[in-house]
Amino acid sequence: MGLRTVVVGTGSCIPPRRVANEELAGREFFGPDGRRIDKPGDQVVAQFQSITGIRERRWAGDDQVASDLAVLAARDALDSSGVDPESLDALIVAHNFGDVRHGTRNSDLVPALASRVKAQLKITAPRTAAFDLIFGCPGWLQGVLQCDAMIRAGDAKRALVIGAETLSRVSDPHDRDSLIYADGAGAVILEAREGEAGILGHAVRSDAIDHSTMLTMGPSYKDEVFLEAIFLKMEGRKLYRYALQTVAGAIADALERSGVALADVKKVLIHQANGKMDEAILQALYEREGRTPPADVMPMTIGWLGNSSVATVPTLLDLLLKGRLEGHSAGAGDVLVLASVGAGMNVNAAVYRLP
């Protein structure tokens, strides 16, 4: 049967600061051409909510950075697992911007966030390799797959994988697309175990030549402010089309490689980027088999948490497994699909059976 990678603990950090759409309605919004959008702010955010499903998002405290959120999520996962942190063979932090302090636009990447987390957790074991992974929004899941490969190769027995981001620090306040961005962190403890539970298979793809510019860094759309600052910029419509063309296929590939039928999937956990986009991806997945998605197959948090990039999927997983998502549950033997899409452009999907 061989070794499989099993999740033995989950954790998350959901920042307490709630930022409702109404709080952002007083902003001036501009288009990529630098022209002011000729609509009142309340109409802009109302249209945004109807498209994305986002009513509010969470922002980190002014005294927090991404590595702080990562530590909180890691401690939650360690507590839920009962694992001794000194027994970890790997500690991976997935992110895209490092630590960006409140009031600045600078990414602090040295030392690696994983090193900072290891230090804050007071892990002394030299064998606990601590490193960062940058893979766009799918970074956390890619870190899980990296650890899965290490476990199956016999190079690791236990690992901690965290996704942490503070997108509120790199978003242009004058770009309506930036309204999707949020802060947060999620984490899992992975362990090598014999049995039928664990990661059953996965699929990954990267499309850089024609798609790498759909998420980039650029100046504010209001050209007389933040003259030297750059912000995360997104070609939203192109990204939406790309996701619809690729994510369902990646999930189908992962299921085929796992030997699991779509009908046997209990829950589909998709990166929380856009509510309507995720619903369309799910519809496309089931339409491949001429089926309609079950009403309760896809839990969502984007409406109240927004898009925290690498943190959305592990946070979803944590809330699901701890029974904190109303109307959703999962237990031993259930099969979950985890999938994400983001800058690169990168897509990944994994099939997981709960122990």
22-40: pLDDT as tens digits: 999 888 888 888 889 888 8
Within 8 A by CB and 6+ apart from 276, the residues are 51, 52, 53
Percent of the chain, pLDDT > 70?
99
Assign 330 to helix, strand or coil: coil
CA distance linking residue 354 with residue 300, whole number of Å = 20
Catalytic residues: 137, 271, 307
Q: Which amino acid is at 37?
A: I
190-233: pLDDT as tens digits: 999 999 999 999 999 999 988 888 788 788 888 766 766 788 88
Report the candidate in 277, 285, 279 with the shortest Cα–Cα distance to residue 299: 279
Assign 99 to helix, strand or coil: strand
CA distance linking residue 268 with residue 282, whole number of Å = 8
CA distance linking residue 274 with residue 52, whole number of Å = 5
pTM for the model: 0.94
Q: Where are the alpha helices (DSSP H) in 89-229?
A: 113-120, 139-152
Q: Which 8-state DSSP code applies to residue 297?
A: S
CA distance linking residue 141 with residue 135, whole number of Å = 9
Of the candidate CATH numbers 3.40.30.10, 3.40.47.10, 3.30.110.30, 1.10.760.10, the domain formed by 3-198 belongs to 3.40.47.10
> What does the pLDDT read at residue 96?
95
Q: Same CATH topology for 3-198 and 200-353?
A: yes
Task: Name the strand (E) or helix (H) holding 281.
Answer: helix 275-287
38-66: pLDDT as tens digits: 888 889 889 999 889 999 999 999 999 99
142-166: pLDDT as tens digits: 999 999 999 999 999 999 999 999 9
Domain coordinates of the chain in residue numbers?
3-198, 200-353
Q: What is the mean pLDDT of residues 247-268?
A: 97
Report the CATH number of the 200-353 domain: 3.40.47.10
